[in-house]
């Protein structure tokens, strides 16, 4: 059974980033979320001809964004400031990155349309959920990963470098480097270093 944590003086944001239970409707978190929503809305309203403005908005919204990275609007985040994206990445339309815990995306990552990176978790028991208790675990995407359209990566998952995740796959646990994984739940169907 999940129980509410004792008050130890830490903020809900500190609890959230530590992967512990926190109250989702905390006012400080609400303000941070509203800021991110405003910045994401401004970003999503830009056109392809507004490259410098897009870059400035991303730099303000995200923890970091590498050189040569392009994210096609719309982009949806919880806070933005917990999302780091490396250099030369491309994300197609509709990326949802619920960065309640840190999301770290390496260099040269390709992200298909409507991909979801979901760090939040919720208690299974009804009462803590009703009281708005949540937790979150980080997601790490290695260099040169390709996430196919509609793929979903769940809380606490690390995907190794060069791995390909098929369209519509649901990644519920870590994937090693240099593999192809498909399905729900995603499973490795071959290694990339194996002869075909």
Peptide bond into 185 cis (omega under 30): yes
Query: How many CB atoms neighbour CB 10 within 10 A?
Result: 14
Give a yes or no: residue 58 inside a domain: yes
Give a yes or no: residue 180 inside a domain: yes
Give a yes or no: residue 129 inside a domain: yes
Give a yes or no: residue 116 inside a domain: yes
Tens digits of residue pLDDT in 105-134: 999 999 999 999 999 999 999 999 999 999
Tens digits of residue pLDDT in 57-109: 999 999 999 999 999 999 999 999 999 999 999 999 999 999 999 999 999 99
* Predicted confidence (pLDDT) at residue 156 exceeds the cutoff of 90: yes
Give a yes or no: residue 6 inside a domain: no
**How far apart (Å, rounded) are the C-alpha atoms in residues 81 and 15?**
16
Give a yes or no: residue 1 inside a domain: no
Asked whether the beta carbons of 57 and 71 are under 8 A apart, the reply is: no
Tens digits of residue pLDDT in 17-34: 999 999 989 999 999 999
Kindly report which listed range (6-10, 32-36, 47-51, 190-194) carries the lowest average pLDDT score.
6-10
Q: What is the CATH number of the domain that holds 26?
A: 2.160.10.10
Active site residue 122: yes
Catalytic residue among 122, 168, 176, 178: 122
Domain span holding position 117: 12-191
Paired with 191 in beta bridges are: 179
Give a yes or no: residue 154 inside a domain: yes
Give a yes or no: residue 2 inside a domain: no
Paired with 17 in beta bridges are: none
Asked whether the beta carbons of 35 and 145 are under 8 A apart, the reply is: no
| Total domains present in the chain | 1
């Amino acid at each position: 059974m999940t129980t509410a944590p004792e008050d130890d003086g830490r903020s809900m944001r500190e609890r959230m980033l530590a992967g512990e239970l926190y109250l989702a409707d905390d006012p400080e978190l609400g303000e941070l979320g509203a800021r991110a929503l405003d910045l994401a809305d401004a970003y999503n309203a830009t056109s392809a001809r507004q490259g410098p403005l897009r870059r400035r908005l991303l730099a303000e919204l995200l923890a970091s964004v590498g050189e040569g990275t392009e994210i096609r609007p719309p982009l949806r985040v919880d806070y933005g400031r917990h999302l780091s994206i490396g250099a030369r990445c491309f994300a197609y339309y509709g990326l949802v990155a619920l960065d309640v815990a840190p999301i770290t995306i390496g260099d040269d990552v390709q992200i298909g349309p409507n991909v979801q990176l979901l760090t939040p978790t919720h208690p299974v028991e009804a009462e803590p959920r009703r009281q708005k208790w949540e937790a979150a675990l980080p997601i790490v995407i290695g260099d040169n990963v390709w996430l196919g359209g509609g793929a979903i990566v769940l809380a606490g998952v690390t995907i190794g470098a060069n791995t390909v995740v098929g369209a519509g796959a649901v990644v519920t646990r870590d994937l090693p480097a240099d593999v192809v994984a498909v399905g729900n739940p995603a499973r490795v169907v071959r290694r990339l270093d194996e002869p075909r």
